[in-house]
A = this chain, B = another copy of it.
Amino acid sequence: MSGNSFGTLFCVTSFGESHGPAYGGVVDGCPPGLALSDEDLQKELDRRKPGTSRHVTQRKESDKVEILSGLYEGKTTGTAIGFLIRNEDARSKDYSAIAEKFRPGHADYTYLQKYGLRDARGGGRASARETVIRVAAGAIARKWLKERYGVEIRGYLAQIGSIKLGFKGWGDVTKNAFFSPDDSKTKEIEQFMDSLREAGDSCGARVNVVAEKVPVGWGEPVYGRLDADIAAAMMSINAVKGVEIGAGFAAIEQKGSEHGDEMTPSGFVSNNNGGVLGGISTGQALAVSIALKPTSSIRLPRRTIDSRGQATTIETKGRHDPCVGIRATPIAEAMLACVLMDHALRHRAQCGDVIPPVKL
């Protein structure tokens, strides 16, 4: 399996570039009999769509998805589900000025050095626009997990720049364009984004994702641990520089007597472990947190080199999100959904005959 596929049984393959004709994806291994339509994918794609507020890229993409295979009379057949999303608003000329320079913090340089050539239009394959495929694939996983096991996967923006957003409730998350769980801070975020945009700069963010009602038992220790696969999936999202499960880095300063979640006949008393112990889901909420770096493409001039290795400066004038974290929530949810579905299938393959002995 090469680099553009992931998943052992629920396997997602992705192709496409920012300024090519289309992005496409293949979801293989989906169980048959799931009711599915373009609309199921579209509604998730619309959640990450650009242009929904003045705080994200103004590129106009309807992100209209077309499912090309794997369905019959509205149900999955168990064969590969191929789908396509055409690019509509690719303005390659925007990029001519930077084709010969490397944007600091961007993959321009590494792609060129790895492959010997690169598609410089809009970041080519490295564009965050690739995440449409993840969101579409995740929509399938999410639907199946919900119908089959009742699993609920939701995320929110937990921090943007230095603004921390405490969790006020899932209701708040849908009230603003930032997936902020504290809608009372929306104005503050908007002002911060406006100031960033004026300054021609960008900022980082933290996104939290939670999966509830995940059954106990998913994950394949010792290398195919559920948390290991989640870590890979999250770190594979553009701009992600850190992943935590449960207490995460806070566990460093915890004592064992504080961190280890006690149990009673009604279940776990706390959830420092974030729903995974020994690489296997505990049945608690699965809690993941990721750090996204600030957007690399900024208007402020920066020192760099050109493809001949000569010193120069660069100012990126294209249409970019000043904070990639704003639209990252549906992406992180989608990646978590894909990993969970893969492990749901892997678990019932090996342990399909097991009845968990302890009833909580």
Checking B17, B26, B276 against A15 with a beta-carbon cut-off of 8 angstroms, the contacting residue is B26
Known: A16-B82, A235-B227. A32 touches B115 (CB 8 A): yes
Checking B107, B227, B309 against A359 with a beta-carbon cut-off of 8 angstroms, the contacting residue is B309
A347 at the B interface (CB under 8 A): yes
Copies in the complex: 4
List CB contacts (< 8 Å) of A173-210 with chain B.
196, 201-206
List CB contacts (< 8 Å) of A276-290 with chain B.
276-283
In the complex, what residues of B have CB within 8 A of residue A351's CB?
31-32, 78, 114-116
A232 at the B interface (CB under 8 A): yes
List CB contacts (< 8 Å) of A155-174 with chain B.
159, 161-162
Select from chain B the residue with minimum beta-carbon distance to A325: B252
In contact, B26 and A106 (Cβ under 8 angstroms): no
In the complex, what residues of B have CB within 8 A of residue A130's CB?
222
> What distance in Å separates the Cβ of A327 from its nearest Cβ neighbour in chain B?
16
In the complex, what residues of B have CB within 8 A of residue A114's CB?
78, 216-219, 280, 347, 351, 354, 356
CA distance A171 to B46 in the complex (A): 54
In the complex, what residues of B have CB within 8 A of residue A253's CB?
161-162, 203-204
Known: A206-B249, A248-B241. A5 touches B15 (CB 8 A): no
CA distance A21 to B69 in the complex (A): 7
> What distance in Å separates the Cβ of A131 from its nearest Cβ neighbour in chain B?
9
Residue among A103, A235, A256, A346 having the largest count of chain B Cβ atoms under 10 Å: A256
List CB contacts (< 8 Å) of A218-242 with chain B.
218-225, 227-236, 238, 241-242
> What distance in Å separates the Cβ of A265 from its nearest Cβ neighbour in chain B?
5
In contact, B349 and A348 (Cβ under 8 angstroms): yes
In contact, B5 and A256 (Cβ under 8 angstroms): no
Checking B70, B256, B302 against A203 with a beta-carbon cut-off of 8 angstroms, the contacting residue is B256
Checking B26, B203, B221, B243 against A255 with a beta-carbon cut-off of 8 angstroms, the contacting residue is B203
Known: A231-B243, A262-B304. A249 touches B249 (CB 8 A): yes
5 more A-B residue pairs beyond the given contacts A15-B28, A111-B278, A307-B357, with a C-beta to C-beta distance below 8 A: A3-B222, A33-B115, A105-B273, A241-B249, A254-B293
